[in-house]
């Protein structure tokens, strides 16, 4: 599992770009930036859509005012779903919605959550991290899919 003081693992992430699907390397993407990364088990799922992400949308300006260059949301799904979910949440330009379509990022972070018993498959555990120049400086891990620690309010306390 990723730890405070370690570099973020390098893995493929995807987003819908102007000319199709853009592929990004997770570590390269966050290098030379201060980033808040929020990982969720699923786009359009109840806890993610009605509890966790609305807090980040509501507090985005305050988070970005703390010398944060970017807020990123990652889920194991495809980039088209992430774009649609971002639109439904009204994230605008404040939150970058990235897809971990193959689960490579969740696996590289050792934060996979197996929800196969619910018919969902392997997804990301729920967590929020602060990354400075590629290094994890704060890690709010839910240890699964619950929602207690990884809120926007708790991230603000760490910034």
CA-to-CA separations, 142 to 14, 45, 84, 138, in angstroms, rounded: 24, 16, 25, 13
Contact 123, 41 (CB under 8 A): yes
* 5 three-class SS: coil
Identified catalytic residue from 30, 36, 48, 53: 48
Phi, psi (rounded to 5 degrees) for 139: -140, 110
CA-to-CA separations, 1 to 86, 112, 114, 141, in angstroms, rounded: 27, 10, 15, 10
Annotated active-site residue 73? The verdict is no
**Nearest C-alpha neighbor of 99 from the set 112, 80, 116:** 80
Active site residues: 48
């Amino acid at each position: 599992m990723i730890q405070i003081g370690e570099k973020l693992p390098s893995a493929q992430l995807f987003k819908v770009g102007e000319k199709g699907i853009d592929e990004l390397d997770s570590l390269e993407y966050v290098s030379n930036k201060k980033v808040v990364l929020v990982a969720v088990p699923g786009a359009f799922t109840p806890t993610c859509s009605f509890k966790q992400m609305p807090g980040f949308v509501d507090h985005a300006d305050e988070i970005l005012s703390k010398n944060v260059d970017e807020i990123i949301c990652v889920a194991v799904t495809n980039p088209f779903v992430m774009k649609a979910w971002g639109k439904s949440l009204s994230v605008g330009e404040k939150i970058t919605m990235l897809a971990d379509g193959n689960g490579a990022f969740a696996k590289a972070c050792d934060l996979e959550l197996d929800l196969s018993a619910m018919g969902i498959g392997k997804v990301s555990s729920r967590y929020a991290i602060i990354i400075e120049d590629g290094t994890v400086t704060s890690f709010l891990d839910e240890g699964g899919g619950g929602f207690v620690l990884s809120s926007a309010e708790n991230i603000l306390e760490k910034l």
